[in-house]
Chain A
């Protein structure tokens, strides 16, 4: 399988200034030496809690933020080296689906205008008729039928589920190779999520798209993804086939995450023993220790002395934890 995205030691730091005259600075690593590979025609799931850096990685892969270190290859070419013209071509080949169906569409722009924009920018050779045709076709692909009815609507005249479909239509209309879907269903009602997830799967199956699916919800992620990476404080702590990650989680953090997922099974009542140590907020300050050491129930001295290597423990199953050295 060919890789479409390859990140190499990607690091992004955010500096916050505080105190009198903003002289105290503290640095947080949102991405800390991230190495992931996303294959062609694959949905790559990225899970993590809020603040784990998963959205930052999505933005980095689309070159929407600058990095402190590392490079990201798109079909073997570092996107951070692209010049203006090449960047324009890269924009044509990549797209994003957003979390919030209410904020991702301009309220005063019609659906037709929103969805047709990428075509009009990237395919200036198309006639207005061709554009209209393509918009209608795309809206029907995402289940907005009859599409005619939606062309002239404004976002406020549509439901959240319909808006999210418009967002997907806008992302796929210019036929990109790679799409980042950032929490695309987390703001939708449960009964509407399934259809959106199935549309995303069909983008892969029928249109051969590759995708990075970012979510905090493991159940949803494993439903759509071929492989899953687990992120914790800016680091990838585990990566593998999605079924494997769920059935056989190796990293203590992944185990806790999976244990905490609500499952629709009344026979699995939660007992009243509390799990997973203390809750308090930590940030990654780039120290030379395991990012999970402060919370890990299996923590050893060595965890605080160096970073665990990210290595292949079983076939295609990577983990960064000293327990598997």
Chain B
């Protein structure tokens, strides 16, 4: 944790302009990812977790726009702000430094091109020496847990899990330092999900990758992530090491979220969180969770809480602390 972070998100805000309204999807978020970290960003739909991840790659497109903030990446040539990169550098950055696997990526492979060709295109586009490409294709497929014979296949010949592995191979094509998985296994069956995630963890070990998992499934991150960020209504409300977060959740939202998921133990009753997330197109004066929070008091409605360290790198944004 002491070293300079690999990726540092500073005070980033993202807005979407839809139907004349401005939706504040991400609201003044700070985040650091260090070399070798496995970081999870957990949140429900509309929490802004995917939008936040898109800023890492400067992928926000109309009608969205980045209101303010920086995404500092520490590359070979020192620290650069991803949001202010020239397009040509950005293209290099997106595969060679940071790459991303999406949930929908499974269906985004080119249907009329063999797997091999798709990998080759990416590699050559990013300046891989042509004589090395064949060996690298085999290497990446093996890394993703696939037999090299599938490189002659077309996407429709593969199962969902295999296609997602091809996407891992694609994401690894240019040896990135950081891999972001945005709900990458949500559409897959549990057994395949586990296989893919353990494969990613193994890659992290073998290639000293940093990993960021974006997911709605808080149970899942317990099994894979070291540092967990909980997002709610465009803000990170709690950040802690996995062990701390699950054993001692501080934010009432995290606590309620953990109480709302069933476990394999019979007999523990679960309860949902009352109400709905706030309308992000409206100005929120206090804490965004205030009107659903069982521990709400006057101050929560008046001023927004700051994300602060309450000891042992356990951050929480709540007036109780």
Contact = CB atoms under 8 A, between A and B. Distances in A.
A and B in contact, CB less than 8 Å: yes
Interface in A104-154: none
Interface in B179-209: 189-195, 197-199, 201-202, 205
A263 B266 contact: no
Contacts of A2: none
A64 interface: no
A91 to B, nearest CB: 31
Interface string A232-274: 0000000000110010000000001111111111111111111
B272 A193 contact: yes
Contact of B261 (A219, A246, A272, A274): A219
Nearest to A258: B264
A264 B194 contact: no
A195 B202 CA distance: 37
A316 interface: no
Interface stretch (A67-75, A276-284, A296-304): A276-284
Contacts of A257: 190-191
A270 B194 contact: yes
A272 B198 contact: yes
Interface residues of B, number: 48
A219 B211 CA distance: 26
B54 interface: no
B3 interface: no
A191 interface: yes
Contacts of B218: 190, 264
Contact of A216 (B190, B243, B271): B190
A249 to B, nearest CB: 11
A275 interface: yes
Contacts of B193: 260, 262
Contact of B198 (A192, A194, A242, A275): A275
A260 B219 CA distance: 12
Nearest to B292: A191
Contact of A263 (B198, B222, B245): B222
Interface residues of A, number: 48
A88 interface: no
Interface stretch (B72-80, B252-260, B308-316): B252-260
Contact of B195 (A191, A218, A264, A279): A279
B238 to A, nearest CB: 14
B181 to A, nearest CB: 14
Given A190-B257, A223-B262, A264-B218, A259 B270 contact: no
B189 A265 contact: no
A222 interface: yes
Given A194-B260, A219-B262, A264 B219 contact: yes
A94 B159 CA distance: 35
A26 interface: no
Nearest to B268: A223
Contacts of A262: 190, 193-194, 217, 219-220, 222-223
B161 interface: yes
A193 B219 CA distance: 14
A198 interface: yes
B111 to A, nearest CB: 17
Interface in A183-228: 189-198, 216-220, 222-223
A276 B191 contact: yes
B246 interface: yes
Interface string A45-82: 00001100000000000000000000000000000000
Interface of A: 49-50, 159, 161, 189-198, 216-220, 222-223, 242-243, 246, 256-276, 279-281
Interface of B: 44-45, 145, 159, 161-162, 189-195, 197-199, 201-202, 205, 216-220, 222-224, 242-243, 245-247, 256-264, 266, 269-273, 276
Given A191-B272, A193-B272, A261-B190, 7 more contacts: A190-B257, A220-B262, A262-B194, A263-B219, A266-B222, A270-B223, A274-B199
